């Protein structure tokens, strides 16, 4: 049995390893000059390979496609990924939030390990080979490179999404899928910084801890919120909680946000705190009374939003102004201009419609054709979940594609 895997990223390499271990003749075609360009930049170069949590916990971190992925994630769990990588000679370490990294803290070691396993299993890896088209040929397929066409029994498409296109994922798999009659859900950026209408250039580089960001749609309905760390960029909001929120709002319209700078204090407690601070500093400028509540640059921004001149004396601040300050601290408003483009989005939401694909990742239109990893309409939050999805779906396709060989390929 001859299987062609298109794409040498996480999903493609995992598929190739398991299909070859099962005894198939596997050719992996990658358009870049090297394997795993995206893996290389994951986890800030450290590669958060998976999340060592149980599957139900895992599924609660999947934003789109949890139901579809259930079977794959129960079949190939984070524990399987860890076992596979450690058996292949890559020691791992689990950090905060169950995030698993190579002990060496080098993403390149993950790529080397997967490449080595492919070599051991006898995968024929062909780099600098860009696939242009897949054609169905009776019960088999033809895969077209610019210089030849390769006949094969099965094809596994692992071409990724469209985020960070410089790594090679430029949405080619969507075209292959569409040409062969599959629906593709329009891709949108996910885990992407939020660009705001408000000019926050003055806050660029400022990071905040223990804040809460809530998003509302045009009807005023709350559609996402998260608590934790955030970062201002020159164009808006980024950092962990902004990225998480982005994945839930990427198809909503007229989105606005409220940033709670003091989530541990309810309005009454915060008001009491402000009154106390004002009482102790009544002859000072207001900016000197509020600076204990927040970092300097944010202090100036918040007072501006509250419409209180920085140099106004505390004892002349009106009750109404105090009310506006309270509101700015609890509900600092931002309006979404747009999500950052795919070039800055960690993952792509949208992709090959999972309704057109079986839980074994096989196309419902063409037997023997599989889609794995980010090319599918699935996405998850940060924490090692997206790579695990690529590994689990990659395994699932390989296992199913080779089932007639009857080998135990674990």
Ligand X SMILES: Cc1cc2nc3c(=O)[nH]c(=O)nc-3n(C[C@H](O)[C@H](O)[C@H](O)COP(=O)(O)OP(=O)(O)OC[C@H]3O[C@@H](n4cnc5c(N)ncnc54)[C@H](O)[C@@H]3O)c2cc1C
How buried is 160 (Cβ within 10 angstroms: 0-12 exposed, 13-18 middle, 19+ buried)?
buried
Check binding of 357 to ligand X (CB under 6 A).
no
CA 383-386-387 angle, 5° bins: 95
Given 5, 21, 22, 43, the residue binding ligand X (CB under 6 A): 43
Check binding of 42 to ligand X (CB under 6 A).
yes
* β-pair type (154-157, 369-371): parallel
**φ, ψ (nearest 5 deg) of residue 254:** 50, 55
Given 3, 21, 22, 38, the residue binding ligand X (CB under 6 A): 38
Q: Give whichever of 34 and 355 is closer to ligand X, judged by the CB atom.
A: 34
80: left (phi over 0), alpha (psi -120 to 50) or beta: alpha
Q: Give whichever of 326 and 397 is closer to ligand X, judged by the CB atom.
A: 397
Check binding of 6 to ligand X (CB under 6 A).
yes
Given 41, 55, 150, 206, the residue binding ligand X (CB under 6 A): 41
Q: Is the dihedral of CA 64, 66, 68, 74 positive or negative?
A: positive
Shortest distance (Å) from residue 103 CB to ligand X: 15
Q: Give whichever of 171 and 368 is closer to ligand X, judged by the CB atom.
A: 171
Q: Give whichever of 329 and 381 is closer to ligand X, judged by the CB atom.
A: 381
Check binding of 354 to ligand X (CB under 6 A).
no
Given 3, 4, 5, 8, the residue binding ligand X (CB under 6 A): 8
Q: Residue 25 and residue 40: Cα distance in Å, rounded?
A: 27
Given 17, 390, 398, 401, the residue binding ligand X (CB under 6 A): 390
List the structure tokens of 240: 């962990």
Shortest distance (Å) from residue 66 CB to ligand X: 16
Check binding of 48 to ligand X (CB under 6 A).
yes
Q: How many residues bind ligand X (CB under 6 A)?
A: 39
Q: How far is CA 334 from CA 85, 102, 173, in A?
A: 43, 38, 36
Q: Is the dihedral of CA 258, 190, 255, 231 positive or negative?
A: positive
Q: Which stretch binds ligand X (CB under 6 A): 36-44, 56-64, 196-204, 258-266?
A: 36-44
Q: Which stretch binds ligand X (CB under 6 A): 39-47, 65-73, 78-86, 87-95?
A: 39-47
Given 189, 236, 240, 373, the residue binding ligand X (CB under 6 A): 373
Shortest distance (Å) from residue 377 CB to ligand X: 12
Interface pattern 94-133 for ligand X (x via CB under 6 A): ------------------------------------xx--
List the structure tokens of 19: 């299909």
Given 114, 387, 397, 398, the residue binding ligand X (CB under 6 A): 387
Shortest distance (Å) from residue 139 CB to ligand X: 23
Given 163, 196, 233, 363, the residue binding ligand X (CB under 6 A): 163
Q: Give whichever of 133 and 225 is closer to ligand X, judged by the CB atom.
A: 133
Interface pattern 49-68 for ligand X (x via CB under 6 A): --------------------
Q: Residue 403 and residue 153: Cα distance in Å, rounded?
A: 13
Q: Where are the beta strands (DSSP E) in 263-399?
A: 332-339, 347-352, 369-371, 379-380
- With H, G, I as helix, E, B as strand and everything else as coil, classify residue 259: strand
Which residues make Cβ contacts (< 8 Å) with residue 229, sequence separation at least 6?
207, 208, 209, 210, 211, 239, 240, 241
Q: Residue 49 and residue 90: Cα distance in Å, rounded?
A: 11
Check binding of 31 to ligand X (CB under 6 A).
yes
**φ, ψ (nearest 5 deg) of residue 111:** -60, -45
The neighbour count for residue 94, using CB atoms within 10 Å, is: 15
- With H, G, I as helix, E, B as strand and everything else as coil, classify residue 295: coil
Full DSSP string of 170-186: SSHHHHHHHHTT--EEE
Q: Give whichever of 52 and 374 is closer to ligand X, judged by the CB atom.
A: 374
Check binding of 240 to ligand X (CB under 6 A).
no
Q: Give whichever of 303 and 378 is closer to ligand X, judged by the CB atom.
A: 378
Q: Give whichever of 237 and 390 is closer to ligand X, judged by the CB atom.
A: 390
Residues that bind ligand X (CB under 6 A): 6-12, 29-32, 37-39, 41-43, 47-48, 130-131, 158-160, 163-164, 167-169, 172, 346-347, 373-374, 384-387, 390
């Amino acid at each position: 049995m001859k299987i062609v895997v298109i794409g040498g990223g996480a999903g493609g390499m995992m598929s190739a390893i398991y299909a070859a271990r099962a005894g198939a003749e596997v050719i992996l075609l990658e358009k870049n000059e090297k394997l795993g360009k995206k893996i290389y930049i994951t986890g800030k170069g450290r590669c958060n390979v998976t999340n060592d949590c149980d599957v139900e916990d895992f599924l609660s971190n999947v934003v789109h496609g949890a139901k579809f992925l259930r079977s794959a994630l129960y079949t190939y769990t984070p524990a399987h990924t860890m076992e596979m990588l450690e058996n292949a000679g890559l020691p791992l370490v689990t950090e905060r939030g169950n995030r698993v990294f190579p002990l060496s803290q080098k993403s390149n070691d993950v790529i080397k390990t997967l490449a080595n396993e492919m070599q051991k299993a006898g995968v024929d890896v062909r780099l600098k080979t860009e696939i242009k088209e897949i054609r169905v040929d009776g019960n088999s397929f033809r895969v077209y490179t610019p210089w030849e066409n390769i006949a094969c029994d099965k094809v596994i498409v692992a071409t990724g999404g469209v985020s960070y296109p410089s790594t090679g994922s430029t949405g080619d798999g969507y075209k292959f899928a569409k040409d062969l009659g599959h629906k593709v859900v329009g891709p949108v950026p996910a885990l992407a910084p939020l660009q705001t209408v408000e000019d926050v250039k003055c806050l660029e580089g400022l990071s905040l801890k223990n804040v809460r960001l809530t998003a509302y749609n045009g009807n005023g309905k709350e559609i996402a919120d998260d608590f934790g760390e955030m970062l201002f960029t020159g164009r808006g909001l980024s950092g962990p909680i902004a990225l998480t929120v982005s994945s839930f709002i990427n198809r909503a319209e007229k989105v606005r946000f409220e940033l709670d700078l003091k989530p541990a204090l309810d309005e009454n407690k915060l008001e009491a705190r402000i009154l106390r601070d004002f009482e102790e500093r009544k002859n000072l400028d207001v900016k000197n009374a509020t600076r204990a509540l927040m970092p300097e640059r944010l202090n100036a921004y918040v007072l501006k939003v509250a419409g209180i001149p920085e140099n106004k004396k505390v004892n002349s601040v009106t009750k109404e102004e105090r009310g506006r300050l309270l509101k700015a601290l609890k509900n600092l408003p931002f309006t979404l201009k747009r999500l950052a483009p795919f070039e800055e989005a960690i993952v792509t939401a949208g992709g090959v419609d999972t309704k057109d694909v079986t839980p074994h990742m096989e196309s419902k239109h063409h037997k023997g054709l599989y889609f794995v990893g980010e090319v599918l309409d699935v996405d998850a939050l940060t924490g090692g979940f997206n790579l695990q999805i690529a590994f689990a779906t990659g395994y699932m396709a390989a296992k199913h594609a080779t089932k007639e060989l009857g080998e135990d390929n674990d």
